[in-house]
Structure 1
């Protein structure tokens, strides 16, 4: 993620692009990074998608994982990824429910 920000900032600054309001603007602005390649627009979109989707997927796991340890610990339930589902139902249900809530928030349109 840090490299994505550094490369993006360097490319955008050198191209004198300073007004970016949407993710689409940022993806288009990465065009100068790969302008010498054929299909540079597609390549810049792929680079941008990897930079956004990767950390987003990682964040979902971190948030649901941290909630899955916090809630069962507060309620004195068994909580460990080493345990089977039958031994730690509450723990795994918190993972499932928090992931589904995050997924629903995305489709409903609630912004973080």
Structure 2
């Protein structure tokens, strides 16, 4: 087990570090700003958008993992739902599978959520 941890740990650390460097080096495209809009019981795709002073009343917020998004000074009422689809859904599935695989992965998975 220790041999396994010593070989896989550095690989995952390297992957996390490379991913951080790539994210920092990427040219970020400007988000589409949506301001003051009211959303009802409907799906709202978050990717690539900046929502400012919007109202979400029973909306389903969908994040596909294609692009970043921003939520600023919004009002959320009703039965709010969040759904992860496409790349985001796959990533969460992988993280969940690794987390469930054993204690050796739990700390590594936790590192992915540290700023």
TM, length-normalised to structure 1: 0.28
Q: Which has the larger share of helix? A: 1
Q: Which has the larger share of strand? A: 2
Q: Which has the larger radius of gyration?
A: 1
TM, length-normalised to structure 2: 0.28
